[in-house]
Amino acid sequence: TDDGANFRFRLVGSILQQRFAHNVSGLSLSEVYDEDAAKTLEAFLRKAIFTQAPVFLMVKVKGLLGDVFRPQTILLPMKAPDERTSWVLCGLFYSEPTGQQEN
């Protein structure tokens, strides 16, 4: 993020493109998530930057019929090439939805 501006997706892998059915590269959090989800994620991103330590998250996303997916997330603080701008490298690891595990 730059000087309090909203966080933006810079490099987005294929799994997120599949989950969103859209390439979200360049979009801000508020352009991808609803207000509550964007604020929650932004708080965790800021925590990683402020503490300069990894942040680990296990998220449950619910649908009408139960858990939709459960991503495990790691947020790693880093500096942009200009050495001033803070970035967060985010890794997402998805488990299979409940009841749809491979046999």
> How do residues 72-94 score in pLDDT, each as one tens digit?
899 999 999 999 999 999 988 87
- Please report which confidence band the pLDDT of residue 35 belongs to, taking 50, 70 and 90 as the band edges: confident
Is residue 66 within 8 Å of 99, Cβ to Cβ?
yes
Is residue 55 within 8 Å of 75, Cβ to Cβ?
yes
Is residue 73 within 8 Å of 90, Cβ to Cβ?
yes
Which of 21-25, 42-46, 68-72 reaches the highest mean pLDDT?
42-46
How far is Cα 69 from Cα 97, in angstroms, rounded to an integer? Answer: 5
Please state whether the predicted TM-score (pTM) of the whole model is above 0.85.
Answer: no
Predicted local confidence at residue 99, as pLDDT:
54
Amino acid at site 27: L
Q: What are phi and psi of 25, to 5 degrees?
A: -55, 130
